[in-house]
């Protein structure tokens, strides 16, 4: 069993791990494939086990990530998931090491990611990442931590942007949601579930 990187040439018939067995995410899956196809031009990487499994990592330059952090010259981990019977077989370490090696090849100062200060089921396992050499470099009052794996010495310590600390956004009218199609679940949960939930309040 090896790993493959999705590209513009092979993404059509390949699965993107999460959501492949969830019928309500069919549209979101296609939108994510379109999103990935455009992001590949900006250095985004989607690497997965060459099996029908939820074993993958995705990452790209922090400067173009849809994450409210300042972390120049680093790679930002997106989703990073090893599930089911594939856990405990070294896939997490292998995938993470491939990202770290890629960061070194690119001359990056490190790898960063946002995780729960306590474990959130929808985010990477903070404790595991800390065990792999990541350090907490910033945190929020509402339970999120910015973790960094340091490769090179840099004066620019990664940090959350001010809007994260204040919780303020420019648009004050109604319920405002910022999202991309990086996650195949967004389309359904933002445009259907959230709309229904908001209409009942």
Residue 24: which pLDDT band, with cuts at 50, 70 and 90?
A: confident
- For residues 1 and 53, give the distance between their C-alpha atoms in angstroms, rounded to a whole number: 11
- Helix residue spans in the chain (DSSP H): 26-39, 91-105, 126-131, 162-166, 186-188, 194-199
Q: Which residues of 25-42 are buried (b: 16+ CB within 10 A; e: fewer)?
A: beebbebbbebbeebbee
- For residues 135 and 36, give the distance between their C-alpha atoms in angstroms, rounded to a whole number: 28
Tens-place pLDDT, residues 159-201: 999 988 888 888 888 888 888 888 888 888 888 899 898 888 7
What is the reported pLDDT for 184? Answer: 86
Tens-place pLDDT, residues 100-133: 999 999 999 999 999 988 887 778 889 999 999 9
pTM, two decimal places: 0.91
Q: How far is CA 6 from CA 37, 81, 174, in A?
A: 9, 16, 38
| CATH number of the 3-199 domain | 3.40.630.30
pLDDT at 135 over 90: yes
What are the domain boundaries of the chain? 3-199
- What percent of the chain is predicted at pLDDT more than 90? 59
Q: How far is CA 44 from CA 6, 7, 12, 94, 104, in A?
A: 10, 10, 17, 18, 16
Phi–psi pair at 77, nearest 5 degrees: -70, 135
């Amino acid at each position: 069993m090896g790993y493959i990187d999705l590209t513009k040439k092979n993404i059509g018939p390949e699965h993107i791990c999460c959501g492949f067995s969830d019928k309500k995410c069919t549209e979101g899956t296609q939108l994510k494939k379109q999103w990935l196809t455009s992001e590949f031009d900006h250095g985004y990487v989607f690497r997965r086990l060459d099996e029908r499994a939820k074993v993958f990592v995705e990452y790209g330059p922090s400067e173009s990530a849809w994450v409210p952090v300042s972390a120049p010259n680093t790679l930002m981990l997106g989703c990073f998931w090893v599930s089911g019977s594939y856990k405990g077989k070294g896939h997490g370490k292998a995938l993470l090491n491939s990202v770290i090696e890629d960061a070194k090849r690119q001359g990056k100062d490190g790898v960063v990611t946002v995780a729960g200060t306590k474990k959130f089921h929808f985010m990477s396992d903070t404790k595991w990442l800390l065990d792999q050499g990541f350090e907490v470099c910033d945190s929020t009052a509402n339970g999120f931590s910015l973790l960094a794996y340091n490769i090179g010495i840099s004066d620019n310590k990664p940090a959350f942007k001010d809007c994260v600390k204040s919780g303020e956004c420019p648009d004050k009218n109604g319920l405002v949601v910022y999202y991309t199609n990086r996650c195949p679940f967004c389309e359904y949960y933002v445009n259907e579930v959230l709309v229904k939930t908001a209409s009942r309040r």
